[in-house]
Every structure is written in structure tokens, then in C-alpha cells.
Amino acid sequence: MKKILVIGSSNIDVSIRAESIPKAGETVKGVSVSLNAGGKGANQAVACSRLGGMTGFVTVLGTEGGESLLSLFRESGIDCRGITVLDGKQTGTAYITVDNNGKNTIVVIPGTNYDCTSEYIKSNDQLLQEADIIILQLEIPEEAVDWAIRRGSELGKTIILNPAPAPDSLNPEWLSRIDYLTPNETELERISGLPVSSAEEAAAAARSLIAKGVKNIIATLGGSGALLVSSALTEQFTPPDIKVVDTTAAGDTFNGAFAVYLAEGRSIADAIRFANAAATLSVSRKGAQSSIPTRKETEDFIVALAEEIS
């Protein structure tokens, strides 16, 4: 099986549930607060491993909480050679508010995620060489992502960039080096500079990026599923219906699941269907890494859905 390397952030998530997300100047009463393992990079690495992928992870943790996160990564079966715990430094922290509809807002304090620099990634070059697929997000310094994309594409690796959190623009030199760009609606809108309020607009925005050299765009459109756009086709994959509890890490679960099927040599369409199913299960559960389903749960869910239809 091909190897997946995730390079990115790890956070401790402080998740608050409230009936509604407060607007500027508003105070609302919360329902509960919990601490969860999160971070876009970590969530994607855990998703890859839990869903059956041979997964390595490059990340930097701080003293507070760092050792417990590292233990969780080890228990998840992740290759942890690329993980460092820095003494006396603060692990990344995310403050998440989730409303009654499962929608969220997130504020991230980067902490040691900003120690995951290009120099640090260079010191893990062996892991990049061993990998077949490299997954990146944007919660570590941009210069580090820049290095990883250039080095990864130079080594002929498949590059997946999940452009989250939404950047103002994407470095134009990355575009032709990315094999799969996986934005959500907000990210696609920012990167393309075009409105994305419908699947048609998302397709037009994605095509504008294909024209600039990206090979495949897989836009995640929440309840409307995923939209695949390449130079040859545009196809929408609707997700199964489920009661939404918490959308935190749905995109991360999608990216991890997609990479796992890709690593197994499945078609892009099958990989998107698998990713849709895994992400759907994740929104029916609370938290980030705690919400990511196993391989068996996901495949059983797909079988159950197929039986429902027939």
C-alpha cells in the first residue's frame, strides 16, 4: 500500500456548545465545554490512520498537552518519527463554538504550530522521500507549506492541499504542483476571487483554478456534498442524509478518507464516495478526532445505504 504523509498542525480544542454563536458585541449562554484533540493536520493524520492508511505525521507540539497528543497519535497507529515536543512552549489551541445546528466558528492560537517551519520539514526530508502522497493545510507557516509543496512535487509525490483556514490568495507557483486542491465554499471563494453560493458558481470558480494549472479541485460543499472539477469533467457527489450534531473536522475526515482510497489505487470517484460517507458519519458525532469513524464503520455505513436504496 502507498504511504501517506500529513504535514501540519496539532491543536488542543476547547469546544463550547451554545444554542447560537454570539455575534460581535453579544453574550450568549453556553451549554457545555470540553477539551478535545484537534488541529487540521492532526485530524487528517488520525483520519488517514483510523480509516486504514499507512500514515506518517510531521508536526510540532508544546509541553502542555503535547505528550498526551503524542500518545493519542501513537495509539492511532501513526508513524510519529516526524513529531517533536518542544519544552516550555505552548501547543496550538483552538477555541471552537458549536451551535444547535452543528455549525461552528473557530479561533486558533498557533503556538508550536508556528515552529513547524521549512527548516523543521527539511530535517524530516527522509519522510517526504518515503511518502507517496503528501497532505498539507494552512495552519503552519506559509513558508513551510511552500517548501513542502516544492520538495514534494520535485520528488514526484502526489500533493493534496486542503487550503484551510481560508487564505486571501494562493501562491500562484503552487497551482501547477498541486494534484488535488480541496477547498470548502469559503476557501474556494477566497482563492478564486469569484462568488460561490451555488454548485454552479462553485464549478465556475473551480474551473478558473483549473485554467491556472491545478489538476483536480474537490470542493466540499457541506450538505451538498463534493464537487470534482478537472480539465476533463465536472461531477457532483451528493452525501448521505444524517442528523448533524457537530461539523468540526468534517473536512479533515473527508481529506483523510480521500487520501486513503487514493493510496489504495481506487478511482477518484470511489475515493470521493468513501470520503463523503466518512465525513457524513463524523458530523453525526461531537468533537474533532473523537468524531472520525473507523474503516469498518464507514464501509458498513456505505453497505447499509446501498441496501436502503435497493
What is the total count of residues that contact ligand RIB (CB under 6 A)?
Answer: 16
Residues 8/39, Cβ–Cβ less than 8 Å: yes
Among positions 6, 48, 108, 127, the unique one binding ligand RIB when judged by CB under 6 A: 108
Span from 39-47, 59-67, 216-224, 294-302 in contact with ligand RIB (CB under 6 A): 39-47
Residue 7 found at the interface with ligand RIB (CB under 6 A): no
> In which element (H, E) is residue 79 found?
strand 79-90
CB closer to ligand RIB, 192 vs 291: 291
DSSP 184: B
> Least distance in Å: CB of 36 to ligand RIB?
7
Pick out residues in 246-285 that bind ligand RIB (CB under 6 A): 248-249, 251-252
Q: Of the listed pieces 33-41, 72-80, 124-132, 171-179, which binds ligand RIB according to CB under 6 A? A: 33-41
Residue number with CB closer to ligand RIB (79 or 187): 187
Judged by CB under 6 A, the chain residues 134 through 173 that form the site for ligand RIB are 139
Task: Say whether residue 13 binds ligand RIB (CB under 6 A).
Answer: yes
Q: Which residue has the cell 472520525?
A: 292
Measured at the alpha carbon of residue 43, what is the angle toward residues 144 and 78, in degrees to the nearest 5?
85
**Under rule CB under 6 A, residue 292 binds ligand RIB:** no
Smallest distance, ligand RIB to C-beta of residue 125, A: 26
Helices (H), the chain: 40-50, 63-75, 118-122, 125-130, 142-154, 185-192, 199-210, 250-263, 268-283, 295-309
Distance of alpha carbon 99 from alpha carbon 90, whole angstroms: 28
By CB under 6 A, is residue 187 in contact with ligand RIB?
Answer: no
Catalytic residue among 79, 115, 246, 252: 252
Q: Is 40 in the site for ligand RIB (CB under 6 A)?
A: yes
Judge contact between 18 and 97, C-beta under 8 A: yes
What is the smallest separation between the CB atom of 231 and ligand RIB, expressed in angstroms?
Answer: 29
CA–CA gap between residue 170 and residue 213 (Å, rounded): 12
Quote the least distance from Cβ 112 to ligand RIB, whole Å: 13
Contact between 98 and 246 under an 8 Å Cβ cutoff? The reply is yes
Tell me how far apart the alpha carbons of residues 180 and 207 are, in angstroms, rounded to a whole number: 13
Instruction: Write down the least CB distance from residue 183 to ligand RIB, Å.
Output: 13
Instruction: Give catalytic status of residue 179 as yes or no.
Output: no
Angle in degrees, CA 76, 142, 271, rounded to 5: 45
Query: CB of 275 within 8 A of CB of 261?
Result: yes
Of 6, 46, 106, 209, the one binding ligand RIB (CB under 6 A) is 106
Q: Which residues here bind ligand RIB, judged by CB under 6 A?
A: 9, 11, 13, 38-40, 43, 94, 106, 108, 139, 248-249, 251-252, 288
Q: Which residues are catalytic?
A: 252
